[in-house]
Structure 1
Amino acid sequence: MSNLLNADKLLQSLSLDLGEDDYEEPLNVLIESLNNEANLTYFGKLACEYQIRKHLKVRGQIFQKSRSLPNLTISRPVFVIGLPRSGTTYLFNLLSLDPEHRSPLFWEMMNPLPSCKSGSFTEKMRIMRSRSILFSKNRFISKLDDMHAITATSPEECLLIKVFALRSILYFYMANTPSYLSYLEDSDKTVSYLWHRRFLKVLQSQYKPKRWLLKDPSHLGNLDEILSIYPDACFIHIHRDPAETIPSICSLTSQVRKGFTNSIDLNELGERTLDFWENSKKKNESQKNNLNDDQYVDIYYEDFIKNPLKTVETIYKNFNFSFSKENKELTESYIEKNAKTSRENHIYTLEEYGLDKKEVHNRLQ
């Protein structure tokens, strides 16, 4: 059928060397899942096709550039992990205030190459294009900005980096792709972090930070794979009641999908979401035991919200990072500003997604 996505045609439209063939299997699984399970609208089909083509194009650019950077050593990475909607974004934003930290910005994830100087006309144009992308997304996905605010110049999640290996939960958020999600759970994630490192190399070739600050809830069950690529990585794990986080990520996912699909089975969404994060949590629990205390710190949402500054100080102390006076002042100012920011309340329940509190607690607490 002409309205189906086609991997061969998509690849033929690209004239770049995409590097190793590790993209072929996930591409075929993803395309088949989108065609047979996602129930995409015509716009959804075009959007998914555009996204995949764009991700592969950037992949090719990264591969070409990274070959000229064989001896570049990545600065120590700090990963913020935890279930989605557990306060990771607020914590990430606080930690990103540190001048010694660098996080990939949204516009850099969209258009990292060719490399450009800070403040240059090229950089400004890429930021403008990224703002246009966000404007379009907010038109088609109602309430997205209220639920997960993104700006062109703000740090963003690594799921936008993992797409270069075509192994990212982003695609599941966009459309119902259960076969692809199962593949994602079972496949070796090491290749995702090989491309992750290549991407950071490209950015670091322009400016080397003391540490990289990174975030993505889907890192949760991938500690072994991360450490195989980044042996000096450290992890900040924020914990929150899963009966609060699971319906929240289901609600966000359903809002995103409304822009691309004809219908959404909320019960299936709830089941798939709970299964994925249960498996991620089990992997995390078995893998974290291999880490030293100075590589891993657990913090708790309730304590963090009550006293964000104390939580940040605890993190720095655990990793023996210097917490400067300047950084403390920036953190206090951000906390004060955030407390004054009004937010729209989002109403969602576990029951909307065929789940109940007891089941979620039994499987995730």
Structure 2
Amino acid sequence: MARVTELMDRACATTGLAEFGDDSFREGLEILVEAADREARFTEMGAAAFDAQIVDLLSCRLQVEHWYARHPEIDEQQIVAPLIGLGLPRTGSTALSCLLAEDPAARSIRNWEAQAPCPPPELEKQDSDPRIARAEAAMERRDRLFPRMKAMVPSSATSPSECQTFMGYDFKSQLFQAFANVPSYTEWLNHRADLVPTYRYVKRVLKLLQWRCPPTRWRLKNPSHSLFIGALDSVFPDARFWMTHRNVAQVIPSVADLYFELGSAYSDAADKPALGDLTTDFCELGMSRMIAFRDAGNDHRFFDVHFAPFQADPFMVIEQLYDWLGEELTDTTRARMQAWRAANAREKHGSHKVDPTDFGIDVATLAARFAFYTGRFGVAG
């Protein structure tokens, strides 16, 4: 595909590198680019931003492979029993992830690392790494482009990031549907793509990040892992999970609105009812796969977190989580968590309220459709 070759050539020219490693990424990249060109209806700015993102992801992959080629010992690193957050999006998972990242004995993917993992960070220089300032500037640009994002997903250069970007290095990620109307790519991703190579690549990047910058007790989070739990488990068979829960009438319109906020910057044809359908479909699919996985002998690997009690008293929930993990919640960690919560009060940047009918969502129909999930986990209406 000429377009894909052109984008790959741009990444090579940008980095001065040429080795992409295993070619598992090619299928997803080709399907994604074809879907974007045919379906996304980008503005001129949107088309340029899409191409720039693809080139950036390819460039990061080239750099990861370059570091492995120079230092093959990186592959000897072990990723042991990571704690992974998943479940429905917009369920308090960002706040919980940020609180857990305050533990000095744990390691998370920080936003500045997610944007540019190479060169791999060094323990002694991590707090003064110039990528932190670059990430802060990028977030300021994001806030100007997406003015409601601060209220929707508050974050900073040093706060934890999801695994979405590293999944994007294999071009199998929900990263793209968040801002581009690419239904054929989404259908392929959710129903036909092989995510095992994707999670192997995520592990490859995690090894790189921890190589010179411990600790190695990983705290990861990505709601979309629910859709691909089988592949995730095959690559991280010793993982343990926390799963957040909230009334779907609050979750699904909120996710659809987030997608609308992102997509509207790149296309004049963002379709709210289509986004409502997209969100409802993947949330239902993810929860059905999660329940099947848990019921197949994996329920003991999960710690459940319900939205209302967590919002009321996160520290009670976190104490229970640490007890379940068999780890110590130290006074230092508790104090850091309390300081983070005090500095990041809910609705600090305003509230995020959505009318479900704007997205063609009928709350009663939604409740009936997700009764299999809310009944299984006792999610309040």
Category of TM-score, reference length = shorter chain:
over 0.9
Q: Residues 275-286 of structure 1: matches in 2 within 5 Å?
A: 275-286=281-292
Letter matched to residue 13 of structure 1: R
Describe the superposition over 1:6-39 as per-residue Cα deviations: whole angstroms up to 9, x where unpaired.
2121122233211111111111111111111111
Looking at structure 2, the residues matched to 248 and 341 of structure 1 have their Cα atoms a distance apart, in angstroms, of 14
Describe the superposition over 1:41-73 as per-residue Cα deviations: whole angstroms up to 9, x where unpaired.
001001010001110111122123235122211
Q: Are residues 93 and 14 of structure 1, via their aligned partners in 2, closer, same or farther at CA, if it must alter by over 3 Å?
A: closer
Letter matched to residue 59 of structure 2: K
Q: Residues 225-236 of structure 1: matches in 2 within 5 Å?
A: 225-236=231-242
Q: Are residues 209 and 119 of structure 1, via their aligned partners in 2, closer, same or farther at CA, if it must alter by over 3 Å?
A: closer
Q: Residues 209-248 of structure 1: matches in 2 within 5 Å?
A: 209-248=215-254
Match of 1:355 among 354, 361, 365: 361
- 1:19 matched to which residue of 2? 21
- 1:48 matched to which residue of 2? 50
Sequence identity of aligned pairs in percent?
Answer: 28
Confirm or deny that 1:168 pairs with 2:165: no
- Of the structure 1 ranges 233-242 and 295-304, higher mean CA displacement relative to structure 2 is found in 295-304
Q: Are residues 341 and 264 of structure 1, via their aligned partners in 2, closer, same or farther at CA, if it must alter by over 3 Å?
A: closer
Looking at structure 1, the residues matched to 222 and 97 of structure 2 have their Cα atoms a distance apart, in angstroms, of 10
Letter matched to residue 27 of structure 2: E
Match of 2:203 among 185, 197, 203: 197
- Of the structure 1 ranges 285-294 and 105-114, higher mean CA displacement relative to structure 2 is found in 285-294
Letter matched to residue 339 of structure 2: S
- 1:114 matched to which residue of 2? 119
Match of 2:3 among 6, 22, 37: 6
Confirm or deny that 1:344 pairs with 2:350: yes
Q: Is the 8 A contact 1:5 1:31 kept in 2?
A: no
Describe the superposition over 1:180-199 as per-residue Cα deviations: whole angstroms up to 9, x where unpaired.
11111021211111110011
3-state SS, counterpart of residue 237 of structure 1: strand
Q: Is the 8 A contact 1:76 1:210 kept in 2?
A: no
Q: Are residues 232 and 121 of structure 1, via their aligned partners in 2, closer, same or farther at CA, if it must alter by over 3 Å?
A: closer
Q: Is the 8 A contact 1:84 1:249 kept in 2?
A: yes
The total of aligned residue pairs comes to 362
Looking at structure 1, the residues matched to 346 and 45 of structure 2 have their Cα atoms a distance apart, in angstroms, of 38
- Of the structure 1 ranges 314-323 and 332-341, higher mean CA displacement relative to structure 2 is found in 332-341
- 1:99 matched to which residue of 2? 104
Looking at structure 1, the residues matched to 123 and 215 of structure 2 have their Cα atoms a distance apart, in angstroms, of 14
Confirm or deny that 1:255 pairs with 2:261: yes
Match of 2:90 among 73, 82, 85: 85
3-state SS, counterpart of residue 241 of structure 2: strand
- 1:300 matched to which residue of 2? 306
Letter matched to residue 8 of structure 1: T
Q: Is the 8 A contact 2:79 2:216 kept in 1?
A: no
Q: Is the 8 A contact 1:173 1:256 kept in 2?
A: yes
**TM-score normalized by the length of structure 1:** 0.93
Match of 1:125 among 123, 126, 130: 130
- Of the structure 1 ranges 335-344 and 103-112, higher mean CA displacement relative to structure 2 is found in 335-344
Q: Is the 8 A contact 1:5 1:49 kept in 2?
A: no
Cα deviation for residue 98 of structure 1 reads 1.1
Letter matched to residue 42 of structure 1: E
Looking at structure 2, the residues matched to 291 and 196 of structure 1 have their Cα atoms a distance apart, in angstroms, of 25
Confirm or deny that 1:150 pairs with 2:155: yes
- Of the structure 1 ranges 288-297 and 351-360, higher mean CA displacement relative to structure 2 is found in 288-297
**Which runs of 5 or more structure 2 residues have no equivalent in the other structure?**
13-17, 375-381
